[in-house]
Amino acid sequence: FCHLTLCVQDIARTKFRIKFRLTDTIFSYPLHPYPITSASHRAPACPVETLFLFSQVAVAIKVNKSNPEILQQAKLEIFILEQLRRLDPDAANIVKWNGFFLDRERVCLKFELLDQCLWDYIGDPNNRCLPISEVRPILGQLTNALSHLGSLGIVHADLKPGNIMVVNRYESPVKVRLIDFGLACPASAVMPGDRVGTVGYSAPEVMLGLPYNEACDMWSLGLVAVELGTGLDYRDEVNRLTEWCSVNNLQLNTTKTKELILDFRKGRADPAPLYIHGSCVERVHSMRFLGVQISDDLSWTANTTAVVKRPSSVSTF
């Protein structure tokens, strides 16, 4: 969402009064046509000197800046949202779009109001490292959403916890919906070289500027699954492992496989798994991971046969 100088209690085109902001999303209450004669209630820059009383239904409004580039992006998003209207939002786990309006030169998109994004949900100390009984339905719903997008030939291209909304955090099982189609496009219209999405969640082909399709969304979903199941930020864990290898004169070679890395380090009580792109640090037969395990004291496990550790050398694994 674009940063704007909108204030609480502002009125957009006499249709909505801004009630509060959550991050960059603007939430408001729609207004019904009922004249108010008091001049003190008039809206600034209102084209008609008639105001409207509040209804009790809240909506979310995505307000786009008025510069040409953002306007073009908003038009493309409206095109995608029009395609998604073929789907049942409840059945497809996709946010319900209620059309758009213009506020001066700004394009405003109206959506149903949902509870909180998945980032905020798992940021709650009570929800860190969700149990599999809760992770499974969330991933099932997101897979369902991507399946429906695929049926229309649409790539979301920016799947991450911030673009997944919880309908009601107090419901069990939790229901989620996919939002923000600002970077979405038809798979047939993907331009090789376009680097879209969020660093840390984008698929390798996207980051490398190679041709991509709907499969890139499944890669992003896998990283979301890691965060849900471990309570760990994938990018932070990658940085920690890289730093640990550097300090101990070790070099990661992650070019030979597309599987995620799982790093179990000895000397820890009940260690949590560590995932990064590339090959795996340990061979775990039950989980079908390939690689080598290194303990914190730099001894090698029986899984390796041809590696010799020298105190001052650099070992590649």
Confidence at residue 253, expressed as pLDDT on a 0 to 100 scale: 57
- Note the Cα 139 to chain centre separation in Å: 13
CATH class of the domain defined by 11-112: alpha beta
Which segment of 111-115, 166-170, 237-241 scores lowest on mean pLDDT? Answer: 237-241
Q: Which residue has the higher pLDDT, 289 or 81?
A: 81
Kindly report, residue by residue over 70-123, the tens digit of the pLDDT: 888 899 999 999 999 999 999 999 999 999 988 888 888 999 999 999 988 987
The answer, yes or no, to whether residue 162 has pLDDT greater than 80, is yes
Phi and psi, residue 78, nearest 5°: -60, -40
223-228's contacts with Cβ under 8 Å and 24+ in sequence apart are: 224/118, 224/139, 224/142, 224/159, 224/160, 224/161, 224/164, 225/135, 225/139, 226/260, 226/275, 227/122, 227/161, 228/118, 228/122, 228/130, 228/135, 228/138, 228/139
d(CA 163, CA 165): 6
CATH class of the domain defined by 116-230: mainly alpha
Cα-only R_g, the chain: 24
Domains 11-112 and 116-230 agree in fold: no
Structure token digits, residue 70? 């953002």
CA–CA–CA angle 206, 192, 62 (5° rounding): 65
Predicted TM-score of the model (pTM): 0.62
Average pLDDT over all residues of the chain: 70
The answer, yes or no, to whether residue 275 has pLDDT greater than 70, is no
The answer, yes or no, to whether residue 28 has pLDDT greater than 70, is no
Residues 152, 217: contact at Cβ < 8 Å? no
Which segment of 159-173, 182-196, 230-244, 277-291 scores lowest on mean pLDDT? Answer: 277-291
Q: Where are the domains positioned within the chain? A: 11-112, 116-230, 232-317
The answer, yes or no, to whether residue 43 has pLDDT greater than 50, is no
Which segment of 12-16, 26-30, 123-127, 244-248 scores lowest on mean pLDDT? Answer: 26-30
The answer, yes or no, to whether residue 303 has pLDDT greater than 80, is no
Rounded to an integer, the average pLDDT of 18-41 is 40
- Return the active site residues: 158
Q: Tell the burial category of 108 from Cβ atoms under 10 Å away from its Cβ (0-12, 13-18, 19+).
A: buried
